[in-house]
Copies of this chain bind each other. A is one copy, B any other.
Amino acid sequence: MSFYLRSLRRLGQQHIDVASSGDITRFLNISPVQFRKDLSYFGGFGKRGVGYDVRALRREIEKILGTDVIWKIALVGVGKLGSALLGYPGFIEFNLQIVAAFDSDRGKIGKVREGIKIEAIGKAKKIIRENEIKIAIFSVPAEAAQKLSKELVNCGIKAILNFAPVNLVLPENIFVSNVDMASELESLVYKLKRS
């Protein structure tokens, strides 16, 4: 669904009001048939032979995904990767907005990157609670990850996008999604080697 949302946003930017399933799926390499099937899972949209109202469909999908409102995100760990994630334009497309950044490096604390002031980890509780932040992006070294993730959960974080190469063990009601770029690349090497 997020692929379709990106496509609808692009069409909107091009001032296209009505689009066929073919228009919507063009750059996605997903077939229009698959698109209509995916949509039908959530109910009926669009009219046969008329096409889809780009803005209305976008709003519907955003509602389904929960990104019809802005979600505030805390970034924890402002190293090279963290800094790039701060400026990554792909998040705000989905109303995901990094509003706070934390690091334990005194050299970084107080500095402003991409309009966000980097704060000490010790201030996380106050800032996360005050801003009602529920989601954290986690780009910290492996050694610090487990301990920090527990602290974040104590601060009220309910979901973590984890870039640290560690299998975080947290209460069951906390959602964790892992992004391990080096492992992905390495599994490509493994496949290449065996092919």
A33 within 8 A of B: no
**Copies of this subunit:** 2
Given A27-B146, A29-B146, A142-B27, check contact A135 B185 (CB 8 Å): yes
| Partner among B28, B165, B175, B181 whose Cβ is within 8 Å of the Cβ of A188 | B175
| A105 CB, min distance to chain B CBs, angstroms | 15
A168 within 8 A of B: yes
Provide the residues of chain B in CB contact with A192, threshold 8 Å.
Answer: 66, 134-135, 158-159, 175
Q: How far is the CA of A80 from the CA of B184 in the complex (A)?
A: 20
Provide the residues of chain B in CB contact with A158, threshold 8 Å.
Answer: 192, 195
A167 within 8 A of B: yes
Residue in chain B with minimal CB distance to A79: B89
Provide the residues of chain B in CB contact with A27, threshold 8 Å.
Answer: 142-143, 145-146, 166
Is B175's CB under 8 angstroms from A94's CB?
no
Q: How far is the CA of A147 from the CA of B124 in the complex (A)?
A: 44
| A58 CB, min distance to chain B CBs, angstroms | 14
| Partner among B2, B160, B165, B185 whose Cβ is within 8 Å of the Cβ of A186 | B2
Is B167's CB under 8 angstroms from A90's CB?
no
A56 within 8 A of B: no
Is B88's CB under 8 angstroms from A80's CB?
yes
Give 4 nearest A-B pairs by CB, closest first: A84-B84, A66-B193, A159-B188, A90-B182
